[in-house]
Chain A
Amino acid sequence: MMKHTALRALRTMDEIDIPPKRLERAPVAPAAEPARAPKLRATGVNFFYGEKQALFEVSIDVPERQVTALIGPSGCGKSTFIRCLNRMNDVIPATRMEGRIELDGEDVYADGLDVVELRARIGMVFQKPNPFPKSIYDNVAYGPRIHGLATTRGDLDEIVHASLERAGLLDEVKDRLDEPGTGLSGGQQQRLCIARAIAVSPEVILMDEPCSALDPIATARIEDLMDELREKYTIVIVTHSMQQAARVSQRTAFFHLGKLVEQGDTERLFTNPLDPRTQDYITGRFG
């Protein structure tokens, strides 16, 4: 009974601030295409910071062109896991990963794989907006430049404009593209970071608590944006907020103490959690 009440509360909040067009798009039927291979697949992932094990046997499938939310209390390993997906943990010294992560069936940790190329395919947006201390234009153009995606200035302009447009920022900044990106507001900076990530045409976008440093209005904009972006990209988002997970995701995975406790369609997980820990968490009994 309790869980139904909780979900109803979430749903009600959802209905208050979503525009009607989203409601039309909202019913997704992941069950309709069950045979489709997942975009990302993790099998038996263990992760260690030195001696301390942070992830235990995590296995998860991330379906293509959907938003998968990773939820769980602080320190449960969800950020660690998302950073395994594009090998951002490689830069942290004395860490070790076991298990297998596949992107389109290809081992991400294979010896011959070029990390730079991988990160071009799996973009990332961080918790705190981190634009480069350069102009708005250069922020977005940086990725295409280093990957040689544009041969002429015109091509580059087009990529920058298209990326800003898709990130819903173009109208606000089109007259001041050469002003520093760090001068924008927090929410604008985060959308700039999204534009920077999509400028290199990734297939997957990882978002590590992208709204935790933003106010509710900026958060709502980013959530709308995610809903639009999933038409083109596969999105994995780490979030603290269960409301946010319920609003934006189609799939949800619940992490607790480094273990993946439960995963499934968002609607099912919030209405009918199978594991008592999941139920305790979504009803607010801990976390």
Chain B
Amino acid sequence: MSDPSQRTPGPAAAVKKARLRRRHAAERRFRAYAIGAVAFAAGLLALLVASIGVRAYSGFRQSYLTLPIVIDREIVDPEGTNDPAVLADANYISLVKQALRARFPEITARSEQSALYSIVSVGAADSVKEYVLAHPQDIGRTVSLRLETADSVDALVKGLTDRTLPADDRGISDLEVAWVDDLVASGELRVGFSRTLFTSGDSREPERAGILAALTGSAMTLVVTFLLSFPLGVAAAVYLEEFAPRNRWTALVEVNINNLAAVPSVIFGLLGLAILLNFFGLPRSSPLAGGIVLALMTLPTLIIAARAAIAAVPPSIREAALAVGASDVQVVLHHVVPLALPGILTGSIIGMARALGETAPLLMIGMVAFIVDVPHGFTEAATVLPVQIFIWADSPERGFVARTAAATAVLLFFLVMMNATAVVLRRRFERRW
């Protein structure tokens, strides 16, 4: 009796076994490749985050020299007017120099004195000025102030300078190193959190440079981008998905939207330069012009995301609404758009995050300018965070390396927050039919 369900042992079984073994081996190999690829990608990401993190840490910190400063009425306000205009014009550098000479009375040679002055930042006088303007009642007294040190001193204190190098190569003289070591030993020179980074605009001196102007510029630009691209994108998506006839023209529009999403962003910058600035005469390097350019860049992505979200609303909901006598517009406004909204919002947040990180198109419309002041309106000259990073990365001063990393960390923080919001939105409002 031959039963077909019974396996006959013999050569056939051996072949079968070998094939089974090969198949299992292939599956194991494939899994190993996949795990390897994921591990490699994760490792690179970790490396990137770690290197930015390490550099950014020193960028968020700044060394300060605490000095007793005599706010001499003779220098600041000899006539006792208390007029802010007079106070703002006073010669604060001499106050700082006096304080330094008082700290190191043994240094008398002119050349050595000027070397001594250079251990504090050129901007230290501005710190004194700001203090006096804020506290005019302290004129005539002696106050203890924290002054930013010069870039070279900052690098030395943070251990970024190689002390074994010859003095000419390390950018700080032996004499200065001795003074700094003395000040560090006495506790007068300390490294602390740099508030300047978040409270001031750009500067030529890394120790005085901050990202407030760039952050404000980014926020304003994004507001313009969102206000333009969200309503336009949703309206276009609703029309294309719900109302547009399926013909050659809508097919053409569709293809073009998909192509536009893949156009390099710098092209949108050129468009902005040619049309917005040269033709319409919008103010150069303003958040308004930047926002419009980024809105153009974001629109295709947003339309595609919104269309996908709208198409995911099941047709049964549309039929249900139509069957109780809802008009086409009512079906869309009462049912389709509200149900698609989480998806649309997710798409637009991701689009906004991309716009926030965009540099190239903004360079084209002049947002690369050196902007010190925080912008107060949508037509004022401004810069944005990624462009600020670009500018700093190009600067020769040692301190800007750390500042660049710190600004990058801030930018990454905002990007991660936006993407996390998108993920949370999607999780919370995800609906299953």
Binding site for B on A (CB under 8 A): 86, 88, 91, 93-94, 116-117, 119-120, 123-126, 128, 130-133, 142-143, 146-147, 182, 193, 196-197, 199-200
Q: A117-B325, A120-B325, A143-B325 are in contact. Are A193 and B431 (CB under 8 A)?
A: no
In the complex, what residues of A have CB within 8 A of residue B323's CB? 86, 88, 119, 123-126, 197
Among B246, B319, B330, contact of A93 (Cβ-Cβ < 8 Å): B246
Kindly report which residue of chain A lies nearest to residue B316, judged by CB atoms.
Answer: A130
Contact A128 B316 (CB under 8 A): yes
Secondary structure of the B contact surface, majority rule = helix
- Tell me which residues across on chain B come within 8 A of A130, comparing CB atoms: 314, 316-317, 319-320
Q: Which of A116, A123, A128, A131 has the most CB of B within 10 A?
A: A116
Listed by A's residue number, 5 A-B pairs whose Cβ atoms lie within 8 Å are A88-B322, A123-B323, A130-B317, A143-B324, A146-B330
Residue of B nearest to A117 (CB): B325
B316 A120 Cβ-Cβ under 8 A: no
Instruction: Report the bound CA distance from A128 to B433 in whole Å.
Output: 11
Q: How far is the CB of A235 from chain B (nearest CB, A)?
A: 15
Nearest chain B CB to A153 CB, angstrom units:
19
| Nearest-Cβ distance from residue A162 to partner chain B, whole angstroms | 16
Q: Which of B323, B327, B433 gathers most chain A CB within 10 Å?
A: B323
The 10 tightest CB contacts between A and B, nearest first, are A120-B325, A143-B324, A130-B316, A124-B323, A119-B325, A130-B320, A116-B325, A116-B327, A146-B326, A93-B246
Instruction: State A197–B316 Cα separation when bound (angstroms).
Output: 14
Q: Are B319 and A120 in contact (CB under 8 A)?
A: no
A93 to B250, CA, bound (A): 14
Contacts of B322 in A (CB 8 A): 88, 91, 119
- Chain B residues within 8 Å of A142, by CB: 321, 324, 326, 334
**A126-B330 contact given A93-B245, A119-B324, A196-B324, CB 8 Å threshold:** no
Query: Are B325 and A147 interface neighbours, CB within 8 A?
Result: yes
B319 in contact with A126 (CB, 8 Å): yes
> What band does the interface of chain B fall in when counting residues whose beta carbon is under 8 Å from A?
20 to 34
Give Cα distance in the complex from A123 to B431, angstroms: 27
**Are the C-beta atoms of A197 and B324 separated by less than 8 Å?**
yes
> B321-345, CB under 8 A of A: which get 1 and which 0?
1111111001000110001000000
Q: How far is the CA of A116 from the CA of B322 in the complex (A)?
A: 8
Map CB proximity to A onto B236-264 as digits: 1 under 8 Å, 0 otherwise: 00000000011000000000000000000
| Contact between chains at A116 and B319 (CB < 8 Å) | no
Collect the chain A residues with CB atoms within 8 Å of residue B314's CB: 130
From A94, A117, A193, B320 is in contact (CB under 8 Å) with A193
B330: nearest residue on chain A (CB-CB)?
A146
11 additional contacts (CB under 8 A) given A126-B319, A197-B323: A91-B319, A91-B322, A93-B246, A116-B327, A124-B323, A126-B323, A130-B320, A142-B326, A143-B324, A146-B325, A196-B320
* A91 B318 Cβ-Cβ under 8 A: yes
Q: Mark B399-433, 1 if CB is under 8 A from A, else 0.
A: 00000000000000000000000000000000101
- Residue in contact with B317 in the complex, picked from A123, A124, A132, CB distance below 8 Å: A132
The smallest C-beta distance from B356 to any residue of chain A, in angstroms, reads 33
**What separation, in Å, do the CA atoms of A159 and B318 have in the docked complex?**
23
Complex interface: chain B residues within 8 A of A125 (CB): 323
CB distance A132 to B335 under 8 Å? yes
Measured between beta carbons, the chain A residues less than 8 angstroms from B246 are 93-94
Contact A126 B325 (CB under 8 A): no
Complex interface: chain A residues within 8 A of B319 (CB):
88, 91, 124, 126, 130
Taking CB as reference atom, which chain A residue is nearest B318?
Answer: A91
Is the Cβ of B339 less than 8 Å from the Cβ of A126? no
State in angstroms the CA–CA spacing of A85 and B41 once bound together. Answer: 59
Q: With the chains together, A133 CA to B320 CA distance in Å?
A: 11
Chain B residue nearest to A125 (CB atoms) is B323
Residues of B within 8 A of A91 (CB): 318-319, 322
Contact for A126 among B320, B326, B334, CB less than 8 A: B320
The residue from B324, B326, B330 contacting A123, defined by CB atoms under 8 A apart: B324
Residue on A nearest B325 in the bound complex, by CB:
A120
Residues on the A chain within 8 Å of B324, using CB: 119-120, 123, 142-143, 146, 196-197, 199-200
- How far is B320's CA from A116's CA once the two chains are assembled, in angstroms? 13
* Residue contact B325 to A200, C-beta cutoff 8 Å: yes
Nearest to B327 among chain A residues (CB) is A116
Most buried by B among A94, A119, A193, A200: A119
Closest to A143 in B: B324
Query: A146 vs B326: C-alpha distance in the bound complex, in angstroms?
Result: 7
Whether A133 pairs with B339 at a CB distance below 8 angstroms is: yes
Hey, which chain B residues are within 8 Å of A116, CB to CB?
Answer: 325-327
- Which residues of chain B have C-beta atoms less than 8 A from A147's C-beta? 325
